[in-house]
Structure 1
Amino acid sequence: MTKILGAVLAGGRATRFGSDKALALLDGATLLHHALASLAPHCAALVVCGRDAAPVPTIADRPAPGLGPLGGLAGALLHAEAHGFDAVLTTACDTPFLPADLLAALLARDGAFAAEAPTVGRWPARLASGLIAHLADGGDRSIRRWARSAGLHAVMPGVTVPNVNTAEDLTRLSRRSGNAGTPI
């Protein structure tokens, strides 16, 4: 059985949102809590990347802060590799809900990412050193382009993943009933 680490990528600056998105409330829970809850049923452990404090262990972006989602993914992959995990299942802190069919498609593959939301993916831990080298050499920080160069494929094109970039996005999402999972 594959041992999967769940990682919420939460190191962004939230410039479009205007405040710390991870702590924004949706249906009585923070976006960070919703993101963690979306991963929890599928993972042996959870971490948050790129933050100093969270309700689960935090890990630093690698090889340095400020590298965007790839820095968070690199930190998660290194942590996974060092602690005996086979893979990392990721989402972003501004992605509070993951469609069940998308999760099933990701979990059925050795490695893949969501076509419409590349921060959502299943990443083999063996990719850690290659990603670190890529970032240390100043490589392109597009998660989608790096994933393709690593041989991973996008799954479920056209499937929309709820995402919060602005306060208006949060308001729109809060109006949708029945989407909120149980926060952890």
Structure 2
Amino acid sequence: MHLAPSDPIAGVILAGGLSRRMGGGDKCRVVLGGQSLLAHVKARLSPQCAALALNANGDPARFADTGLPVIADSIADRPGPLAGILAGLDWAHAQGFTRIVTAAADTPFLPLDLVAALSNAPGSGPIRLAASTDGALHPVFGIWPTDLRDQLRRDISVGARKVRAWAEAQGALKVANWGEEAFFNINTPEDLEAARIRARSGR
């Protein structure tokens, strides 16, 4: 399916993980520069999308203050970010969208031109994944057509777990357009301190 760059796109922030290395709980609520990580991601991604939702499991009421619809994994036992992508595809399809962009909830410096650069990159492919200019792939940052949702559902049910492997099997296009720092993610207290230093320096 060919998707024109002008097609409206829905955004899905992925926050369905267990955050074990940060001690559990909602890592996206950790504060950086006076705002939660989720608030940073929302502020950077929302202007790039026609609608925005949060993929998170558990009681959705705890995110009521964000103003975002909360969509849970539809597959039990938290099989990983592919389940979050699937939840986003199902939600977006129900809203009338033909594609979504996904981003991790723990990446406060994500690109402000993520959607435009992924959409406008030359080449074909039903999925477009972000990469940094050093060649590192960041597969949870990508554009996904909603018409792949049934295939993804079937593949998860028979054991698919790795975002990169599944996307590449669908012929994903890799778009290398940013420095590695754009995808800095916070997994540990040490990462959070590094992010705070970066935020204070304005880099």
Q: In structure 2, what is the equivalent of residue 112 of structure 1?
A: 128
**Does structure 2 retain, via aligned residues, the 8 Å contact 1:6–1:90?**
yes
Post-superposition Cα deviations, 1:74-112, rounded to whole Å, max 9, x if no partner, equal 000011112111211110111112134554321325631
**Does structure 2 retain, via aligned residues, the 8 Å contact 1:62–1:132?**
no
Q: In structure 1, what is the equivalent of residue 134 of structure 2?
A: none
SS in 2 for 1:156: strand
CA–CA distance in structure 1, aligned partners of residues 95 and 142 of structure 2: 19
Query: Which of 37, 40, 43 is the aligned partner of 1:34?
Result: 40
Q: In structure 2, what is the equivalent of residue 182 of structure 1?
A: none
Equivalences for 1:7-156 in 2 at 5 Å? 7-19=12-24, 20-51=26-57, 52=60, 53-54=62-63, 55=66, 56-100=68-112, 102-108=114-120, 111-115=127-131, 116-139=137-160, 141-156=161-176
CA–CA distance in structure 1, aligned partners of residues 77 and 129 of structure 2: 23
Give the TM-score normalised by structure 2. 0.81
Once the 2 structures are TM-superposed, how far is the Cα of residue 158 of structure 1 from its aligned partner? Answer: 7.4
| Bigger shift: residues 47-56 or 74-83 | 47-56
Identity level (%)? 41
CA–CA distance in structure 1, aligned partners of residues 35 and 41 of structure 2: 10
Q: In structure 2, what is the equivalent of residue 162 of structure 1?
A: 184
Which is helix-richer, 1 or 2? Answer: 2
- Tell me how many residue pairs correspond in the alignment: 178
| Structure 2 gaps, min length 5 | 1-5, 132-136
CA–CA distance in structure 2, aligned partners of residues 65 and 89 of structure 1: 24
Alignment root-mean-square deviation, CA = 1.9
CA–CA distance in structure 2, aligned partners of residues 104 and 158 of structure 1: 13
Q: In structure 1, what is the equivalent of residue 3 of structure 2?
A: none
CA–CA distance in structure 1, aligned partners of residues 79 and 100 of structure 2: 18
| Structure 1 gaps, min length 5 | 180-184
Post-superposition Cα deviations, 1:15-63, rounded to whole Å, max 9, x if no partner, equal 1111431110011111111111221011111100023242111001133
CA–CA distance in structure 2, aligned partners of residues 3 and 114 of structure 1: 19
1:107 and 1:65, CA in 2 relative to 1: closer, same or farther beyond 3 A?
farther
Q: In structure 1, what is the equivalent of residue 7 of structure 2?
A: 2
CA–CA distance in structure 1, aligned partners of residues 112 and 33 of structure 2: 20
